Amino acid sequence: MDKYEQVIELAKRRGFLWNSFELYGGTAGFYDYGPLGSTLKRRIEQIWRETYVVQEGFMEIEAPTIGIEEVFVASGHVGGFSDPLCECKNCGEAFRADHLIDKIVDCADSLHVKELDKVIIENNVRCPECEGELGEAYEFNLMFKTNIGPGTGRQGYMRPETAQGMFVDFLRLARFYREKLPFGATQIGKSYRNEISPRQGVIRLREFTQAEAEIFIDPNDKKHANFGRFVDTVVNLYSEEAQHKGVIEKMTLGEAVEKGTIAHEFLAYQIGLTNHFLQRIGIAADKLRFRQHQKDEMAHYAIDCWDAEILTDRFDWVEVVGIADRTDYDLKAHAAVSKTELSIYREYSEPKMVTQFVVKPNMGKLGPLFKGKAKAVADALKTLSQAELEQENITVTVDGEEVTVPGDIVEFAEETVKISGENVIPHVIEPSYGIDRIFYSTMEHAFEEEMVSGKEETEDEEAEARIVLRFKKEVAPVQVAILPLLTREELINPARKIESQLKQKGLLVSYDDSGTIGRRYRRNDEIGTPYSITIDYDTLEDNTVTIRDRDSMKQVRAPIDGIADLVYEMIYMGKDFESAGKAL
């Protein structure tokens, strides 16, 4: 049993993860989060919100998970959001064609379907399920299609990412932030991708949670005002050059920008922020790297793009965050399809005198000629050069239709005017987090099995196996366990009072009075509870309790008075356990 199987077995047994639709046999690509899993996931999301919304000031929005077709035409998802699929001619099972050959060639995901077919044939790649012959590869669009409204309705899709809602809301967001760059918006929610063959547990899902920020910045100024926060942060960089060498380079983010390894400060800052967040929730620093997209995999709209990758036991390096400079591609694409200018007005510090070529269509004559299309015709005329406007009849294209305009109703000239500002289309920096992959990685990095003395349960010193999830204290789905030594009223009453005090402090508390105290300690170790508080008969005498530390299994005796503040300080303020009370 490898670590993945151990983690998933624990996750299912203790209520972190369950296969969806289990009652009906289940289906691949869907998981339910149980009581502990849902809480752990919410803690990760809440720390993400603290990082991006509270500290960075990028307010959160919530857009529909269903989008109309035009949105995804503009984003490119309708025309180009697909994976290469091939099916077994014998058993009919479907597979990602590039995944079948990723151990044979480098960058299999960059090959065209014809190139994939060639590699499959030349290497006699067979069906992994039945060894049957594979059919030709073809592009399979990954979006879930739906109809909005009754009958045929309006064509819609389940969103494949949360980002588009923030692009569509750009003008509203710009007004909210008083059109001052940089500004950003965040969104945490469900996305949907009809994956061809999701066989990697929560690493590849058909319904998953994304946490994304879209940060709109000045295209001419990509320095970050707070870059000093991370300038000396050392990260594991797997740049394009390092990938050719086969080595991971350790360097500071300041050095990476200075050398040109990372395109600019704003992108480097986001890498630093991602590094900080992932380590804060429990990802091991030595199992985290940032891999730069190579030129043949870089999206056509990106200047630079880095993936945060986490090392896992079964799946090797797994991408969990994508951090990209998307330039102005998205805003221009939505502007073109919606026919709405998506820019902000930036005022100069001092007005400038500028010579401009000005086109002035006579709207009084255009209106009767073209009626409802008059404005669109005028806008098209304003994009033409002087040579094109000097024709007796001017031809422009409006809504795909050629329109002829008499040259004598269009005036043009060069004019010197005072300009107080300009319209700017911002560039977008996007950190995109896959919460489900981060959830699993957090569990795997926290998972440990060790041999310890069995003395906590009995007087027996014989070693036994202990499974422990060493979650960071602020992430743990249960932060404190309340354990009355026996199920007797005189112990239950003070235990319940302590439970109430801790809950009022905002801590995640469980109450457990079933089984021996040693068994209860082990149960809480398994789910990652940092501290257990035991109420015994000495409590009735001296008003003190035993606090046990999950990681060291050490115990101290501390007074009940101020117990909620004490535990809160140990979880959130770094108070040392050794100083929490008298060692036992």
- Residues contributing to the annotated binding site for ATP: 193-195, 203-208, 319-320, 434-437
Task: Give which of 339, 351, 326 is closest to 161, Cα–Cα.
Answer: 326
- The amino acid occupying position 505 is K
150 cis-preceded (ω within 30 degrees of 0): no
User: What is the greatest pairwise CA distance in the chain?
Assistant: 105
The DSSP result for 61-109, as a single string, is: ----SEEEHHHHHHHTHHHH-EEEEEEBTTT--EEEHHHHTTTTSTTGG
- In DSSP terms, which residues pair with 88 in a beta bridge? 134
Could you tell me if residue 17 is left (phi over 0), alpha (psi between -120 and 50 degrees) or otherwise beta? beta
498 CA to centre of own chain = 37
Tokens 């009940």: give the residue: 560
Whole-angstrom distance, CA of residue 234 vs CA of residue 257? 12
Binding residues for substrate: 96, 161, 208-212, 430-434
Tokens 């692009």: give the residue: 167
- In DSSP terms, which residues pair with 357 in a beta bridge? 414
- Across 439-451, b (16+ Cβ under 10 Å) vs e yields bbbbbbbbbeeee
Whole-angstrom distance, CA of residue 147 vs CA of residue 152? 7
484 cis-preceded (ω within 30 degrees of 0): no
CB atoms near residue 97 (< 10 Å): 30
How many CA atoms within 13 Å lie on the side-chain side of 381?
28
CA dihedral 21, 25, 31, 34 (to 10 degrees): 60
**Structural tokens at position 301:** 């709209």
**Structural tokens at position 337:** 């399809």
Whole-angstrom distance, CA of residue 113 vs CA of residue 421? 48
CA distances from 504 to 358, 508, 531, 565 (A): 67, 10, 17, 11
Task: Give which of 76, 77, 86, 81 is closest to 115, Cα–Cα.
Answer: 86
Map residue 227 onto helix, strand or coil. helix
Could you tell me if residue 124 is left (phi over 0), alpha (psi between -120 and 50 degrees) or otherwise beta? left
Binding residues: 96, 161, 193-195, 203-212, 319-320, 430-437
CB atoms near residue 173 (< 10 Å): 21
Task: Give which of 564, 522, 476, 540 is closest to 512, Cα–Cα.
Answer: 522
Whole-angstrom distance, CA of residue 134 vs CA of residue 101? 12
Whole-angstrom distance, CA of residue 356 vs CA of residue 102? 55
Task: Give which of 273, 289, 129 is closest to 215, Cα–Cα.
Answer: 273
